[in-house]
Amino acid sequence: MSSLRRSRDIPLLVEHARDGDPRAVARLITLVETGDETLPEMAVALASYAGRARIVGVTGSPGVGKSTTTNELVRALRKQGHRVGVLAVDPSSPFSGGAILGDRVRMQDHATDPGVYIRSMSNRGHLGGLSAATPQAVRVLEGAGCDVVLVETVGVGQAEVEVASLADTTMVLLAPGMGDAIQAVKAGILEIADVFVINKADRDGADATYRDIQGMIGLADRGPGEWRPQVVRAVASRAEGIDETLAALDKHHAWLTAHGELDRRRAARAAAEVEAIALGAVRARLSALRGGTALTDLAAEVVAGRRDPYSAAASLLESLS
């Protein structure tokens, strides 16, 4: 089995991942992260398992307790009999490219549980709070039989909204005394949150934060039957409010299913994934052109004023077809 750590036999790896072998899952995600040439073959092998897991995004500012909350959610989901996958994205250094994958350290409670798979991933400079490899890593965990996949983002602020395009349900964590009530009013976080969790609710200011968020939600323009974000109080370090948080997540999932929104979100997710793969292929071909003279010659014509950048770009695209 140790050979799975170096294997590129995709059918074998998928077979072992389906059987719950964490080494096979780890190897598949590593191949995803490194952009291995076997990715198309892997995608074919995993395609039939798509859509079988609930994808929950966990986001919020640094210090609000995302990892602690995720840890307790995993514990509660396991009590319900669910197989759980966790993708915890950590920021990488812009200088060395390295990352301290601290989320996995914080979730050691589940290290020996065969029904839990936890993977820390570096964002490798990718903006939006996720890693570029996250969507394909989610597919691996779906293929490995996870019922629920929790995707914990970097925690970079209100611009961190990419998780909403990946998740079925997006949970935004807030904490009193950190300015979150003001931050949440900003459009990005307001529009992506399906469930708000006010963590560290035993602190002073928790009631004010709760009122502020509820007031902000009340100001939004919603039509009949549209989802109204739930607001839950929790103290994740003491496992308080976790059952209520799961209930809110379940309520949102039921609403998604009843209103056809789950299918719509997943179709949009697939469209974004296909577009990203296509754009990646175009970038690769453009990079290849940089090794030749086509792009250099076009750039020289633009600098000399003999051609405008739009017509130059059109010529470049024609050369790719």
The one-digit pLDDT tens for each residue of the chain (321 residues) are: 456 766 789 999 999 999 989 999 999 999 998 888 999 999 999 999 988 999 999 988 888 899 999 999 999 999 999 999 999 887 544 344 444 444 445 566 777 888 999 998 875 544 444 456 888 999 999 999 999 999 998 765 544 567 778 899 999 999 887 665 555 555 556 678 999 999 999 999 999 989 988 988 888 888 888 999 999 999 999 999 999 999 999 999 999 999 999 999 999 988 988 888 888 888 888 877 766 778 888 999 999 999 999 999 998 888 887
φ/ψ of residue 134, rounded to 5: -60, -45
What b-and-e string marks burial along 15-29, b requiring 16 or more CB atoms within 10 Å of the CB? ebbeeebbbbbbbbb
d(CA 258, CA 261): 8
φ/ψ of residue 248, rounded to 5: -65, -40
Contact 71, 35 (CB under 8 A): no
Contact 199, 171 (CB under 8 A): no
Q: What is the pLDDT of residue 99?
A: 44
d(CA 287, CA 27): 28
